[in-house]
Amino acid sequence: MFVSDPIASEAIVDCIFCKIAAGSIPAKKVREDDAVLAFHDIDPKAPTHILVIPKKHIASLAEAKADDAALLGRLLLAVAEIAQEQGLGKGYRVVISTGAEGGQTVDHLHLHVLGGRQMHWPPG
């Protein structure tokens, strides 16, 4: 599918974000290219709440490798472009939750783009 390692391939069979990237689960897409997919979160926490994911399965930021550096850069550039397209010129927040204690609920790297309201600190 998105990885060639047979053990890793088994791990993504139940990954909802891999299924969305493959097109087997529908999503309200904002942007898509060969490596990155962005779509509206189904449980938004702000007026604008978009998830940006790599199509390649990377379980979390902690699992990213040196050879993922270009892909990680593409994710961040996509975030900036999407924020501009969504009219978030006054500001927005980008969140990457990593691991259970970090609040990660889907084991596929994803960036939350939140905007359209005043953000507060600390985030919680």
Question: Model confidence over 43-74: pLDDT tens digits?
Answer: 999 999 999 999 999 999 999 999 999 999 99
Burial of 95 (0-12, 13-18, 19+ CB in 10 A): middle
Domain at 35, CATH number: 3.30.428.10
User: Any idea which of 6-10, 35-39, 82-86, 97-101 has the lowest mean pLDDT?
Assistant: 6-10
The reported pTM is 0.89
**Mean pLDDT score, 99-116:** 97
Indicate if the pLDDT at residue 10 is higher than 70: no
Strands (E) across the chain are located at 29-32, 36-40, 48-54, 92-95, 111-115
Does the residue 34 lie in any domain?
Answer: yes
Asked if residue 69 is part of any domain, the answer here is yes
Q: Which range marks the domain in which residue 33 is found?
A: 6-115
Does 90 map to a domain?
A: yes
Neighbouring C-beta atoms of residue 43, cutoff 10 Å: 5
Q: Which residues are catalytic?
A: 110
Is residue 121 in some structural domain? Answer: no
Q: What does the pLDDT read at residue 61?
A: 98
Number of domains in the chain: 1
Question: Is 123 part of a structural domain of the chain?
Answer: no
Q: Report d(CA 38, CA 85) in Å as an integer.
A: 12
Output the six-digit token pair for 34: 């060969």
Q: Are 96 and 51 in contact (CB under 8 A)?
A: no
Would 54 be classed as within a structural domain?
Answer: yes
CA–CA gap between residue 75 and residue 122 (Å, rounded): 24
Q: Is residue 48 situated within a structural domain?
A: yes
Cα gap 66→72, rounded to integer Å: 10
97 within domain boundaries: yes
